[in-house]
């Protein structure tokens, strides 16, 4: 049993890292083939798609994971089936809303960002939320079966398809590239939906049953998770949009290159976060709160040790890396990349902050911590970005990341007090 778990975790890490490599290669190919100006248009259009997709698409994956594990542990298969049906309905509705919002944005995009060529790419990108609607529901079914290795394999498959789409379509232009990416995403979504359905059918076939007294808690969790995800989107997708408004799409392109260290470090911690989400949510539902907190401490200590070694090396080699990988025309992103690297190292050490609110059933922690981060980063991006472009936006991200880390330090201290008050591993802590 132990060897099988180890194999699955190792396979998950390998698949996720392969997916990241494909993702970074996609950015490299797009940057080199499209050139600085068109690459800025491309990245701005993707940022708009991502922002409305996250903002208007309710986050059902987190309550689906949290309550899914609860129903699996309690063998409440009828409730589990009802939960998944409702999740699919909500995801389709969210995809439609996001697509409509993007369709409304497209005609005025050029005037908002002060550049030509954004309208049609954004209109094509509006199809992305629709074709991606069922993706995370299928992936969650794999998590409930403990098959995070298959989820990692899917991520690699999806990113390989996206890379292929970019390689084929980028020479023809931005609009063609986005259209090819929509097709690639549609294929990937069908694949994970089929595999997820097969995994779900391995649970006992019980007729759907109302959630009953859990319904209010599920709705509350979904709303809180969606608000939290929306707040996170302010940092991840609204930042480049604000930068595009105050400094233009070209600076957005440079900022996207500068975010490569953040992408890499986030990916480096992704397998650990996926395992934490699966194993620690199960442990929390079994009442082993102390062991969950011990796991967070161990993760943080290891992550800090790795960053102390890695960050100085990449700070020194950043100019060479940017020019070698992306080309000399993107050298204006070097200073921003160095600043983002420091912010990414802090986020790497706090990688568990993405899964912990789901694990302990406190999604509002994301709202508070990421809300503070957003309140800091958005105005600072507008202020510093208008003055120093991508470098100014990077400074804003670093300041906001420090605020985020301080907020989580306070939250963890309070959580430890709550767990201690309930005694070691004697039951769930009140959300």
At residue 431, the pLDDT reads 38
**426: in domain:** no
- Does 37 map to a domain? yes
Cα–Cα distance measured from residue 187 to residue 162, given in angstroms and rounded to the nearest whole number: 10
Q: Which residue has the higher pLDDT, 206 or 424?
A: 206
Residue 70: inside a domain, yes or no?
Answer: yes
Residue 363 falls inside a structural domain: yes
The answer to whether the CB of 411 falls within 8 A of the CB of 419 is no
Q: Is the pLDDT of residue 1 over 60?
A: no
In DSSP notation, 129-169 reads HHHTTTHHHHHHHHHHTT-HHHHHHHHHHHHHHHHHHHHHH
342 within a domain of the structure (yes/no): yes
Report yes or no on 430 lying in a domain: no
Q: Is the pLDDT assigned to residue 428 strictly greater than 50? A: no
pLDDT above 80 (res 40): yes
The domain total for the chain is: 1
Residue 427 maps to a domain: no
State percent of the chain over pLDDT 70. Answer: 88
Q: Is residue 74 part of a domain?
A: yes
Structure-block tokens of residue 71: 């129903």
- pLDDT band for position 315 (cuts 50, 70, 90): very high
Parent domain of 47: 2-421
Residue-wise pLDDT for 63-89, tens only, equals 777 788 888 877 788 888 888 888 888
Examine the pLDDT at 273 and tell me if it is beyond 80: no
pLDDT computed for residue 390 by the predictor: 94
Q: Would you give the distance in Å from CA 329 to the centre of its chain? A: 29
Cα 7 from Cα 92, distance rounded (Å):
35
Residue 280 has pLDDT above 60, yes or no: yes
| Nearest C-alpha neighbor of 336 from the set 352, 318, 323, 348 | 318
Average pLDDT over residues 159-182: 95
């Amino acid at each position: 049993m132990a060897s099988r778990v180890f194999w699955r975790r190792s396979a998950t890490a390998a698949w996720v890292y392969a997916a990241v490599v494909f993702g970074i290669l996609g950015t490299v190919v797009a940057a080199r083939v499209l050139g600085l100006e068109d690459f800025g248009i491309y990245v701005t259009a993707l940022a708009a798609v991502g922002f409305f997709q996250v903002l208007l698409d309710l986050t059902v994956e987190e309550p689906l994971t949290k309550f899914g594990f609860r129903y699996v542990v309690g063998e409440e298969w009828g409730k589990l089936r009802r939960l998944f049906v409702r999740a699919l309905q909500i995801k389709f509705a969210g995809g439609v809303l996001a697509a409509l919002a993007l369709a409304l944005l497209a005609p005025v995009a050029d005037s908002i960002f002060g550049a030509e060529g954004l309208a049609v790419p954004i209109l094509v990108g509006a199809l992305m939320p629709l074709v991606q609607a069922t993706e995370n529901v299928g992936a969650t079914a794999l998590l409930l079966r403990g098959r995070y290795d298959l989820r990692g394999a899917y991520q690699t498959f999806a990113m390989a398809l996206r890379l292929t789409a970019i390689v084929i379509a980028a020479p023809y232009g931005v609009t063609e590239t986005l259209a090819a990416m929509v097709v690639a995403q549609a294929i990937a979504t069908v694949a994970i939906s089929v595999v997820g359905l097969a995994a779900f059918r391995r649970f006992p076939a019980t007729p759907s049953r109302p959630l009953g007294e859990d319904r209010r808690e599920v709705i509350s969790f979904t709303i809180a998770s969606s608000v939290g995800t929306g707040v996170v989107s302010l940092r991840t997708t609204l930042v480049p949009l604000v930068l595009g408004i105050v400094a233009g799409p070209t600076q957005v392109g440079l900022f996207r290159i500068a975010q490569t260290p953040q992408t890499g470090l986030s990916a480096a911690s992704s397998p650990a976060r996926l395992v934490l989400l699966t194993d620690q949510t199960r442990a929390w539902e079994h009442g082993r709160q102390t062991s969950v907190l011990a796991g967070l401490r161990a993760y943080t200590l290891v992550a800090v040790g790795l960053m102390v070694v890695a960050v100085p090396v990449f700070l020194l080699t950043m100019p060479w890396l940017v020019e070698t990988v992306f080309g000399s025309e993107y050298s204006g992103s070097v200073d921003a990349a160095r600043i983002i690297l420091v912010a990414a190292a802090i986020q790497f050490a706090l990688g568990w902050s993405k899964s912990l609110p789901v694990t302990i059933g406190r999604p509002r922690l994301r709202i508070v911590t990421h809300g503070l981060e957003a309140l800091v980063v958005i105005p600072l991006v507008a202020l510093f970005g208008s003055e120093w472009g991508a470098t100014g936006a990077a400074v804003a991200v670093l300041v906001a990341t420090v605020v985020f880390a301080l907020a989580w330090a306070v939250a963890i201290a309070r959580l430890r007090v709550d767990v201690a008050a309930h005694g070691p591993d004697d039951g769930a802590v009140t959300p």
